Amino acid sequence: MPATEQTWRNQKVMHIIFAASALVMVIATLWLMAKDHNREWKDWQLANRKKEAWMTQASRDKTAALFASQLDGQESELRRLQSEPIDPSYLVRFKEIVTAEESRLARDESQPFILGAAASETAISEVSSSGSTSLEATSREAASDFTKLEAAFAAFNELAQAAQSARAQVVAEAAKAQASKVGEEGPGPEVADDAGQQPDLAPPAALTSSQEEALEARRELLVQFADLIRQAKFREKQLVGRRKFVSADRTATVSEKGLKIGEDASKDVLETLQEKIQGYTDEISDLTGRIASAKTYRTDLEGVVGEINAAQDAISKQSQALLAELSRLDDLAYKNTSNVFEWVTRWPVLNALYDGNMRIDQIWLPDMTINYNFSQVARFDRCKSCHQSISQTAAGTTSGPAYPTLPREERELGIELQTPDAAPADGASLRDVYGLVLEAGVMDYSEVTVHYVLPQSLAAQAGLESGDVVRLAGDQPVYEPETVDVYLLNRSKWGESAMLSIRRGFDHPFTSHPRLDLYMTDTSPHPEKDFGCTICHDGQGSGTEFPWTSHTPNSAEQQIKWTRDHNWFDNHHWIFPMKPARFVESNCLKCHHEKGALEPSERFPEPPAEKLVQGWTLVEKYGCFGCHEIGGFDGPDKRIGPDVRLESNYADVAQQILRDEGLSDEQRDWTESLVRTPEDDRLRHQLAAVLNQDAKLAQQAEIAASATLTPQTHRLAAGLKDVEAPGTYRKVGPSLRFLRSKVEFNWLYSWIEKPANFRPSTRMPQFFGLHEHLQDEDDETELATAERFEPVEIRALSEFLLANSSDFEYLAPPAEVTEKPSAERGKWLFESRGCLACHSHESFPGIASEQGPDLSRASAKFKSNKGALWLYSWVKEPHRYHVRTKMPVLFLDPIAEKDASGMPTGAVTDPAADIAAFLLAGKPDWTPQEHATTWSANEEAALKDLAQEWLTSDDIPSARAQNFVHGDGIPAHLEPKLKADEKLLIGLNNGNRTDRLRDYVARRTISKYGCFGCHDIPGFEEAKPIGTALAEWGRKESSKLAFENMHKFLEGAGNPNHDEEHVAHGHLDPADFDPDTSYFIQSLNSHARDGFIWQKLRMPRSYDYKTTKNKGYNERLRMPKFPFSAAEREAVITFVLGLVNEAPAEKYVYKADPRQEAIVAGRKVLEQFNCAGCHTLEMEQWQIAFEAGQFEEPSEVADYPFLAKSFSDKEIALSEFKDSRGLLQATLHGQPMMNEETGLPERVDEDGLPIEPDDDESEPYYLLKLWKDGLVEGVPWLVGIQDLMVPAAADGYGPAIGTAYPAWGGDLTRYLFPRVIAHVHQSNPEAKGSEAWGWLPPPLMSEGKKVQTDWLHAFLMDPTAIRPAAVMRMPNFHMSTREAAKLVNYFAAASDTEFPYEYKSRQRESYLAEKESDYPDRMQGAMNIVVNGNYCVKCHTVEDFEPKGDATTFGPNLADVHRRLRPEFLRNWVANPKRILPYTGMPVNIPYKPGEPGVAETLFHGTSVEQLDGLVDLLMNFDTYARRQTEITPLVKESAAKNAPTTSDAANNKPSRR
Amino acid sequence: MKNLICLLLIALFGNLVAQCANAADWGSLKGRLVFDGTPAKPKAIVAKVDTEFCSQQNLVEETLVVGEKGGLSNVFVYLYVKKGKSVDIHPDLAEPSEKPAVLSNKGCRFEPRALIVRTLQPLEVRNSDEGIGHNTKASFFANPGFNETVTSDRPLNKVFNKTESYPAEVACSIHPWMKAFVLIRDNPYMAVSDAKGNFEIKNIPAGKHQFSFWHEAKGNLRALPVGSTKTDRKGKAKLEIKGDEVLDLGEIKVSPPVLGL
């Protein structure tokens, strides 16, 4: 086919199509580019940059304003200094130096210059000598002429004198003016306190001109000085040049000689050359000497001039520093301001090439992966693209936020601004009058912002800050600065305050992260470059737009706002939405698997994760882990999260084994031991082997009879097996093993029915009567079922628990007791023996501990005879009843009463009986409801029906079950197929039916509700927790959560606003609720986990709403209701949501160093046994800020040098650092002086006297007693020397500026302090209240430094009495050796000392031998001090010796010190006890006297240091000393050979003598 | 006023200004403190420590010691100077005495009960009870406290640098009933009332001054009628001392409530 012009498609059409599509494409491309260009984050960055520039400018302007006056002052000061006469002694010294140099040079010249040079070498010597001497001669000539210098000096001093007297006149006039002013106000008392202040007047012209003249003269004078110095310099230079020249000559001659040697030159030639070289060498050394002298001369001259100028130079330097700072700020301001170039580069396309200072700010975390379902992917956190200032610290601080996120109440403020007393001059500006400078807004031009505030101005006093937005002036809205001007400067009345309403701080994302000491900064434990953002916050880190980053609102209100302002939506597809603010701490659990690591520490005294720790503690306290296992391990070693699980049940198993009467005596002994020490693995294995062996015997028919133990016991062997990574928590409830011996049926019934009946504050949850979901009319039948079966369950449980109880042997009071129990004595004992450390009681309103139950109503529980018997046994020996109780043995041994003079009266009281009497005293204010002892017909019918329900299963249909229950029970032949509980129903008859059915139902009920999760119940040793495991609950898919009919419930019966109007409209709008509730309602609406758990904790049975119809009674929900407050509930949720099993890479998981690990592990034990109830474990920490010079330096005290505390240069520098407020900071550990009558911290006046209640004039202070050496303004303040007077907060407790972090522990000690004083004063009015701390449990801050580790371990296991003065003894907690070891390590680690072992060289024989080689009777000498009536024995027991007198002044037995105390501690203690315990009454016995004895040398020969050393050595080796006094030889029977027994001889079998 | 200018000039020009001649006048203050009531018979102290020796000393409670004609002893009267200020000192009294102030442990009690010490004047603590161990525990406010054993052959010697605002307690930890009070001031204008209740302070610069009245039973003696005025809540009374005159306050009646009794 021929080619034609024709195209297949019409060209024109095609053109149109192409044109159109090209156009579309262009539009699409432009659209795409526009979309790409206009990214949200750019706006945020630009805004932030604007903010930064503004802030820098404000700070620059403020600094400039501040510096201006300083620079002026410095300038005039410089003028003053420069026009001051110069001390003529400088001139004299200067001349002396010059003259001395001259005479030195003259002396040198008179001697032949080149000593060793040969005469023939005159040429060389001429050159050199003439060269150098002529040089020196010239300088000398000039120098000797002082006339010019003297003239200049005289001229200057004359003018300077004139200038000075002119100035003096000015000052005197000013002083006169001021004095006459003072005079008008009346004759001032003694003194003028502001004498240092200079009159603030402009210098009159006369002074200025005379100063000018003096300055001119001074310049002239300095020129004269400089002339001479220049000459000296010139000479020095010449000499150096000369030496270079000679050196070069020498080098040339040396090489010439080398050549000549090569050329075999004659000896003469070589010698000549050698002489020449020698000549040069000598000259060089001579020149070197001269140069040195010349240099010394020059520097001496310079030194004199330097001294003359020293003061001026210092001032100039200061000025330069100020100028440098200003120029730095200028640079910074310039850098932060966008310029034209940047602006251009931000244009589309160009912006792709140059970022124009705007870029995606991203942190790449290759090892911090995120789970993308199929793989772990590196994180890219781009959050900083918008949150630009997030890690910015305030200038001059390491962790203060530059832009703090302020709480709502601090954001909107009313400022009361004091106006001047009189109208200011016309034309005065806000800056002149108030020190206030305003500007248009930072983020919004329609706002008015405080640009800066001058220090000490009226605005500063009112608290205005740079950046505050002024919204209202009076009640007028402010849109421009003039409004404020008018308001503040045109007032009708002056001297009154004006009101400004301001808004402070920035919104997100312009703020800094809170707690920069913990996060973001490089010095924090979580630097941003290593951790990024999303590991803690979750959310989509790679997103750069608000909605796509999965922010999560914290309340419905916020959600509405975000939806409106930022297009927020709930992105269901992103499974890691950001944690809302309320749960932000949850994710700490990813890396922190021990609670102790999240608690306040010395480094971070402010709680790092308070809510989370609270939640964790609540989970521990309420025993959630009894039903819900929280496993922290994946395999034996790999940690995945917190591990909160029940301990192995060995003790309970062993107790159950003890029920078997077939145990042999030995087996019984083993078992009893295991009950006491369940951690003893060897014993447990032994016992398990016994059971297994016996079980084997029983299985073999022919020897079955030889098995002694029951099959039940055999089965218990399984409970003794080893467990991989066992749990560590004890059950939180008391043991019910011996319940019968403790409580009555009626009480028990009431308790189970509703624990709050008896004790409103109890932790036991409520299981019954939770029917809020059964209130609808159509649920009537379901409600009736519950109301019919629940009483049956309660009655069955109560009866079963009592019937199933083991027998308990009560303790009988000791025979020596003569007195009847007394509630009055018991009350003081209860208060003072430590009970209040764990329990509260309404008789003692000042203290409330929650470790143990509130005992106010004990009498209602134990009013029966057996209750009283039980209570006595319990108080005295709690482990007898409940082996795993945390209640310790308090050593309530009989007390032989003494009279006022300390003699026994013959009366013996029993403190345990007294305490029991106190608890049982009074008529109970509550009695349980009486219940019939027998089952009524209705109850029996219900019991049968319930048993039938239980029995009914796939294998046993309902009808058959009914037959079993009503007939003869389950046939015996079915036994092998039956479960343990069902076996109870074999062989039912009318005689045993009710009891058997009761036991059956009770056992099933216990299993259903999981009572054994908290209580030891006989027969349930092996039961497993009944609840859902929680280790991964924080990531549980919400589709797996049974929300059931929750929405319907909440809209109706379960509406939290049930009583209010909201119920009417029947639908659930989160916005109708308060912010906290609204969050959870919203969460429930979107089927999220946090809403689910919130409702579960709030109304645990509500998920059964409308589901009960189709469930059996026993299938209904069983979670009980705990008495959580809303805040507690949220804390628990915070903890549970953090259980995500997402431990990141190993390097991110918090790994404590061994010391920290010991601290963390120890804290758990401390908490378990409530050590902090009595002991102070950390003193209060006061972080104070103050003005320089606030604290007068403490007086120096001459003391043993080893007691001095040295601080590092860094610490000192830090303590002298001024923050942005110009304040210094100090961290002090201690506690304020307490009032001996009230026990409350005493507020004192400036003289240190307590401020009386009606005194509102005195400035309040606290007298802070230091417990740790501290640094204040670079000066060490040492413990026990002097108290610090810290200005007190105007109201409330703490320092005026700063924070007082509370002490950890010691509540009881502080509570008892005034009370023991009052009590002791009753019988002993002279006892010293100030020493009462010594009668109470000691603080343990540096216990590790004090005691030896092995002693402490033994003491914890078996505490002995140490201090006779103490009102209570350390109780015995029956802790395991592992727990004791953890405590020992804790104390050592916390006080930063050696553990687990410490080497005590003082206790080595070799050490003693060496010391004794110089002074053989050294130990005896030290003993002389000990037994001298003036010293140790005055107050201390020593072995068998006991001091007489007042026990409140007695100290511990010195014979035991060598086992207890660490040598260094003992030395420091004896040297000056107050340096360790500020309150101690122990005196310094050997005062430090350098080179002299501290005590009489007749006792111990040597200096005070040697005497102290000797005494310490004796006390540390008391056993060695005692051993030396003991002779064993006399005890050995003499002539052992004579008395030796006869032995047989192998050969003849006859007795023979050896 | 002259003083004021003088001080101002000294502060400004230091040694360049000739020493300001001080022509201040000097006066004295005296008075007698009388207990206005019937004192209870002092309670006997039962010594539980060193019984053999101490019980023979007929020790009694010494908080309130009233002598003949009701003279109240052990009241501290001293010139109050505001913190950071100072007072002119008479040339005769410019230097603190080199003679030590002595506090003795004697007969299981401190002698004297109330003692005044000037800064830089030595304080000697003695033990006159040979063979009886004593320790002396002093708790000061501005000066470092001490607590040392003192034996009869080795007295303690202490010097203090800083002025105290009120008397400090000195005690013995071994014999808890032992108590004394020591006032340390950086000026000589202080006195303790003697057994008859008399006190006198000499050579006080003329002018209006505040005087503190302090007794161990109560601390600051509040609302104490002194001359024509009364002490304030801090136990201070403003009195005018005239040159070359003795301001005699006469009998100052101390009622039991003033002492907190």
Interface with B, mutate which of A1247, A1281, A1475 (most B CBs under 10 A): A1247
In the structure, what pLDDT confidence band is assigned to residue A71 with cuts at 50, 70 and 90? confident
Please determine, for residue A140, whether its predicted confidence score (pLDDT) is greater than 70. no
How far is the CA of A1541 from the CAs of A1534, A1538, A1544, A1547, in angstroms? 14, 9, 10, 18
Rg of chain B over all Cα atoms, to the nearest angstrom: 20
| pTM (predicted TM-score) | 0.84
How far apart are the C-alpha atoms of A496 and A491, rounded to whole Å?
10
In the structure, what pLDDT confidence band is assigned to residue A199 with cuts at 50, 70 and 90? very low
Query: Between A and B, how many residue pairs show a Cβ–Cβ distance under 8 A?
Result: 165
Please tell me the predicted confidence (pLDDT) of residue A185.
46
In 3D, which of A1199, A1155, A1048, A1213 has the Cα closest to residue A1395?
A: A1155
How far apart are the C-alpha atoms of A622 and A765, rounded to whole Å?
9
In 3D, which of A895, A872, A858, A863 has the Cα closest to residue A813?
A: A872
Please tell me the predicted confidence (pLDDT) of residue A202.
54
- A1122 compared with A1255, residue with greater pLDDT: A1122
Query: Which residues in B lie closer than 8 A to residue A1473 (C-beta atoms)?
Result: 147
In this prediction the ipTM stands at 0.89
In the structure, what pLDDT confidence band is assigned to residue A551 with cuts at 50, 70 and 90? very high
Helices and strands: H and E segment counts in chain A: 50, 26
**A1254 close contact with B: CB closer than 8 A:** yes
In CATH terms, are B28-93+188-261 and B97-187 the same topology? yes
Tokens of A1026: 């009944």
What topology is assigned to B97-187 in CATH? Immunoglobulin-like (2.60.40)
**A1326 close contact with B: CB closer than 8 A:** yes
In 3D, which of A148, A135, A82, A84 has the Cα closest to residue A108?
A: A135
What is the least distance, in Å, from the CA of B8 to any CA of chain A? 5
Flag if B209 and A1283 touch (Cβ within 8 Å).
no
Average pLDDT over residues A757-780: 93
* Contact criterion met (CB below 8 Å) for A500 and A470: yes
Flag if B4 and A1435 touch (Cβ within 8 Å).
no
Domain residue ranges of chain B, discontinuous segments joined by + = 28-93+188-261, 97-187
Please tell me the predicted confidence (pLDDT) of residue A308.
83
| Burial of A1539: CB neighbours in 10 Å, binned 0-12, 13-18, 19+ | exposed
| Burial of A1459: CB neighbours in 10 Å, binned 0-12, 13-18, 19+ | middle
* Contact criterion met (CB below 8 Å) for B191 and B201: yes
Cβ neighbours of residue A1530 under 8 Å, at least 6 residues apart?
none
Please tell me the predicted confidence (pLDDT) of residue A1254.
81
Interface with B, mutate which of A198, A1190, A1430, A1476 (most B CBs under 10 A): A1430
* Contact criterion met (CB below 8 Å) for A1133 and A1122: no
Please determine, for residue A1013, whether its predicted confidence score (pLDDT) is greater than 70. yes
Average pLDDT over residues A652-669: 94
Interface of A with B in 1178-1197 (CB under 8 A): 1192, 1194-1195, 1197
User: What average pLDDT is seen over chain A?
Assistant: 88
Per-residue confidence in pLDDT tens, chain B, 261 aa: 444 444 444 444 444 333 443 446 899 999 999 999 888 888 888 888 888 888 888 899 999 999 988 999 999 999 999 877 888 899 889 888 889 999 999 999 999 999 999 999 999 999 999 888 899 999 898 899 899 999 988 899 999 999 999 999 999 988 889 999 999 999 999 999 999 999 999 999 999 999 999 999 999 999 999 988 999 988 999 999 998 889 999 999 999 999 988
**A201 close contact with B: CB closer than 8 A:** no
How far apart are the C-alpha atoms of A935 and A947, rounded to whole Å?
15
* Contact criterion met (CB below 8 Å) for A1139 and A1030: yes
Supply the angle between the helices A205-262 and A40-82 in degrees, to the nearest 10. Answer: 100
Helices and strands: H and E segment counts in chain B: 2, 19
How far apart are the C-alpha atoms of B94 and A1345, rounded to whole Å?
49
**B120 close contact with A: CB closer than 8 A:** no
Interface of A with B in 1479-1498 (CB under 8 A): 1481-1485, 1487, 1495-1496
Please tell me the predicted confidence (pLDDT) of residue A1097.
96
In the structure, what pLDDT confidence band is assigned to residue A169 with cuts at 50, 70 and 90? confident
Please tell me the predicted confidence (pLDDT) of residue A583.
96
Flag if A193 and B84 touch (Cβ within 8 Å).
yes
Interface of A with B in 1260-1279 (CB under 8 A): none
How far apart are the C-alpha atoms of A854 and A871, rounded to whole Å?
15
- A1553 compared with A1440, residue with greater pLDDT: A1440
A828-869 pLDDT per residue, tens: 999 999 999 999 999 999 899 999 999 999 999 998 889 999
How far is the CA of A450 from the CAs of A394, A413, A453, A472, in angstroms? 18, 14, 7, 13
| Burial of A661: CB neighbours in 10 Å, binned 0-12, 13-18, 19+ | exposed
How far apart are the C-alpha atoms of B174 and A1435, rounded to whole Å?
7
What is the least distance, in Å, from the CA of B222 to any CA of chain A? 11
Per the document, the length of chain B is 261
The residue type at A1278: L
* Contact criterion met (CB below 8 Å) for B210 and B29: no
How far apart are the C-alpha atoms of A1316 and A1335, rounded to whole Å?
8
| Burial of A1458: CB neighbours in 10 Å, binned 0-12, 13-18, 19+ | buried
CB-nearest to B153 from A900, A1327, A1496 is A1496
Please tell me the predicted confidence (pLDDT) of residue A337.
81
CB-nearest to B133 from A902, A1430, A1496 is A1430
**B157 close contact with A: CB closer than 8 A:** no
Please determine, for residue A1034, whether its predicted confidence score (pLDDT) is greater than 90. yes
How far is the CA of A797 from the CAs of A433, A763, A771, A805, in angstroms? 81, 19, 20, 12
In the structure, what pLDDT confidence band is assigned to residue A1540 with cuts at 50, 70 and 90? low
The residue type at A1519: D
In the structure, what pLDDT confidence band is assigned to residue A1061 with cuts at 50, 70 and 90? low
CATH code for the structural domain at B28-93+188-261: 2.60.40.10
Cβ neighbours of residue B61 under 8 Å, at least 6 residues apart?
B42, B43, B44, B45, B177
A493-520 pLDDT per residue, tens: 888 889 999 999 888 899 999 999 999 9
Largest CA distance in chain A: 149
Task: Please tell me the least confidently modeled range out of A515-519, A951-955, A1298-1302, B84-88.
Answer: B84-88
SS3 per residue for chain B = CHHHHHHHHHHHHHHHCCCCCCCCCEEEEEEEEEECCCCCCCCECCCCCCHHHHHHHCCECCCCCECHHHEECCCEEEEECCCCCCCCCCHHHCCCCCCCEEEEEECCEEECCEEEEECCCCEEEEECCCCCCEEEEEECCCCCCEEEEEECCECEEECCCCCCCCCEEEECCCCCCCEEEEEEECCCCEEECCCCCEEEEEEEECEEEEEEEEECCCEECCCCEECCEECCCCCEEEEEECCCCEEEEEEEEECHHHHCC
Flag if B233 and A1429 touch (Cβ within 8 Å).
no
